[in-house]
Amino acid sequence: MAPSSPARFLYALNPLAKIAAPLPAIVLLVFVRDLATPIAFLVLSYAILLVGVRFSAGLAAMLAALPVGAIVIGVGFSLWTDPARVDQSVIVLQLGSWTLYGGALSVGLATGARIAAIVALTLIAGVSTTGPDLVRATVQQLRVPYRIGYTALAAFRFVPRFGHELDVIRQAHRVRGAHGGRGPFAAIARWFGYVVPLMAGAIRHAERVALAMDARAFGAYPDRTERHLVPFRARDAVFILLLWAVSAAIFTFCFPWGL
């Protein structure tokens, strides 16, 4: 977990608080149809992310890609919108008998902005929360049985392990000159050569994990002592209430259901 600091407050919050705070806005954004409401939540999400997490190249790429993706999705949806059901007072583009109306473009851009706003709100928890801390929070606060939570966490950790083993297998094949050549058939042959050793490595890793869990009496008792605590503090409740209040203010001001 990233070290917390006053300027990067999201790292210090409980993972459940970072999920619960934007959740009502995410649900309600599914039902709005205007353009102003999702743009307001997009700006709010960007402000929280820029203040609450450490800035990195990956975060910058995601924040830059969201508006571009929203525009691309919006234009795509506008091309599929039924012209008979939109405002036809403004003509944006006309090619022969086909016409793109301003109403269709507005509907498409609103859809793209809505998707971008939902993704941006999910990034509040996504870029500042680790998998182990989320599992610990669900076990400690939501009372999810630890046998379910930590088993899911162990399964999730198989993914980077598979990536490492696949890299080792590829290097071994290159050293031995196995499945050389270029073209689609050579690539298929190489991938088939990775399957068996990758499955063997997965079985060995699963056996080691099972033995380690048995050695620690995993599942023998209904509760376990937690080594790492993820408490739910007053600041978590304050963050939830503040974001709920700001979300309610945005919905009240824009009132997208009155359109």
- On the question of pLDDT at 223 being above 60, the answer is yes
Measure the CA–CA gap between 235 and 248, rounded to whole angstroms: 20
From residue 123, alpha-carbon distances to 17, 60, 111, 113 in Å are: 13, 12, 19, 15
- On the question of pLDDT at 203 being above 50, the answer is yes
Length, in residues, of the chain: 259
Residue 181's pLDDT is 64
HSE-CB for 101 with a 13 A CA cutoff: 15
- On the question of pLDDT at 4 being above 50, the answer is no
Instruction: State the chain's mean pLDDT as an integer.
Output: 86
- If pLDDT is split at 50, 70 and 90, which confidence band does 179 have? low
User: pLDDT higher for 172 or 12?
Assistant: 12
Amino acid at 233: R
What is the mean pLDDT of the segment spanning 77-104?
Answer: 84
| Both structure tokens of 172 | 């071994």
Q: Give the per-residue SS3 of the chain.
A: CCCCECCEHHHHCCHHHHHHCCHHHHHHHCCCCCCHHHHHHHHHHHHHHHHHCCCCHHHHHHHHHHHHHHHHHHHHHHHHCCHHHCCCCCEEEEECCEEEEHHHHHHHHHHHHHHHHHHHHHHHHHCCCCHHHHHHHHHHCCCCCHHHHHHHHHHHCHHHHHHHHHHHHHHHHHHHCCCCCCCHHHHHHHHHHHHHHHHHHHHHHHHHHHHHHHHCCCCCCCCCCCCCCCCCCHHHHHHHHHHHHHHHHHHHHHCHHHC
User: pLDDT higher for 88 or 44?
Assistant: 44
Residue 62's pLDDT is 92
Closest to 9 in 3D by CA, of 47, 64, 37, 40: 47
